[in-house]
Amino acid sequence: MAILAAMAVPHPPIILPEVGQGEEQKIAKTTAAYREVMHRAAALEPDTIVITSPHATMYSDYFHISPGKKAMGDFSAFRAPEVQIEVEYDDVFAKKLADACAAEDLPAGFLGEREPSLDHGTMIPLYFLQPELKKPVKIVRIGLSGLSADVHYRLGELIKKTSDELGRRTVFIASGDLSHKLKEDGPYGFAKEGPVFDKEITKDLGHADFLAMLTIAPDLAEGAAECGLRSFWIMAGALDRQDVRGELLSYEGTFGVGYGVAYLQPTGEDEARDIGHQLAAKEKEAIQAIREKEDSYVHLARLSLETFVRSHVMLPLPKDLPEELQDRRAGCFVSIKKDGRLRGCIGTLAPGRRNLAEEIICNAVAAGMHDPRFPQVTPEELGRLVYDVDVLSEPEPIDSPKQLDVKRYGVIVQNGDRRGVLLPDLAGVDTVEQQIDIARRKGNIGAREKYTLWRFEVTRHV
């Protein structure tokens, strides 16, 4: 059987009367919509419920499928220990899904169980669903990952395939809140990206516009501090090549966090909705457009890393370089992004090589292979990487943060041998205070320690 239906639902503990103690009445529309979608789901008489939750076990490079026969949890963490949820896992489905992922080298399985108890992102949907069910239903619980949209989508496709091959009547629940930054007086404050993200994602859910949802700007999603986007990506894959009718039943941001409830009903096969292939084609076109606009600085950085990753030797200095790369000496930073997210960044504040070209070559390789925050770049990734090269002016000491401008100047925060650096004009860094704080923490300098400030300008090549 194909996926019978899918839904995107939030997981605020306050929605439970036992937790909210009356506050849940402030999100009554969310509660009513929740009950409606669960009533619809139960009416389909599913055999299996697949739930993806941001609060299940999560790894940056792996999808964790909860193992075992059964699990339970309660709301002790929210001062309501009397509310308990118990489930039986569909271990046959889970095992077959893990095997399908292994066959395709998709990193998913049962390894790394950290917390066998049910998380609230799983329990809250079940709190509303279980009273509606006419018969017991088994559960498959899956955590999210830090992997790209296409990998999440592919996992969804394999969930659909597993359901088909087992003949399961399956309902998919994508658990996830929207932006956490909708109000200044909310628990996470306000960011301008918050309302924009919620407007876009609720529109995409209501229209079942999966391609738009899969290609939402990473900076927008990160700035909004979203929670459920990756859940929705997997859900989209589970509805691959299906004509889908989307319905947004409710949206509220009462407490400064976006709660959206959407129901997605497959109405038949539609080969034109091969969204995974469309996503791959769109990403390839975008990368090609970037490659065609590369200047000599960015091209040199890319060629340097590609040469090293493929041959394990440094790129010889090309002979046809512009004079400013051959004759000038300067510090530079090379930044690498993948799918809109940082993949590596290494640089030098002052020149250490014979010329700027050699500086770029060495820093590009270091950014891809020696940034301690990331694993080394692999040959398979090269086609998806995007490069920036920032050429630095000579840093100058300053007496006050008032001499900084986050758009114009980068900053160096220094205490003795400890030093933190932050480039200018970075997404999400809107104030001088933020800029200094991030650089200070990068240099492992305490908030109460004294430090000196330096500023520098950059010429950015993208």
Total of domains in the chain = 3
CA–chain centroid gap for 267, Å, is 29
The token duo for 215 is 């290609």
DSSP-assigned letters across all residues of 1-67: --EEEEEEE---GGGSHHHHTTGGGGGHHHHHHHHHHHHHHHHT--SEEEEEETTSSBBSS-EEBPP
Residues 258 and 123 in one domain: yes
Compute the average pLDDT of residues 75-101. Answer: 97
| Predicted confidence (pLDDT) per residue in 344-358, tens digit | 999 999 999 999 999
pLDDT for 404-443, tens place per residue? 999 999 999 999 999 999 999 988 888 999 999 999 999 9
Q: Are strands 385-392 and 70-75 parallel, antiparallel or unpaired?
A: unpaired
* pLDDT for the residue numbered 114: 87
Do residues 139 and 246 both lie within one domain? yes
Cα 229 to chain centroid distance, Å, stands at 7
Q: Are residues 262 and 326 in the same domain?
A: no
CATH number at residue 232: 3.40.830.10
Banded pLDDT at 1 (limits 50, 70, 90): low
Would you say the C-alpha torsion 446, 449, 455, 456 has a positive or negative sign?
A: negative
48 close to 141: Cβ distance less than 8 angstroms? no
| Statement to judge: residues 218 and 306 lie in one domain | no
Residue 90 has pLDDT above 70, yes or no: yes
323 and 247 housed in the same domain: no
Q: Show which of 342, 367, 392 is a domain's final residue.
A: 392
282 belongs to a structural domain? no
Q: How far apart are CA 54 and CA 68, in angstroms?
A: 20
316 and 188 belong to one structural domain? no
- Which range of residues forms the domain containing residue 329? 294-392
319 phi, psi to nearest 5 deg: -90, -15
- Whether 288 is in a domain gets the answer no
Task: Please tell me whether residues 180 and 223 are part of one structural domain.
Answer: yes
Alpha carbons 120 and 448: distance in angstroms, whole number = 37
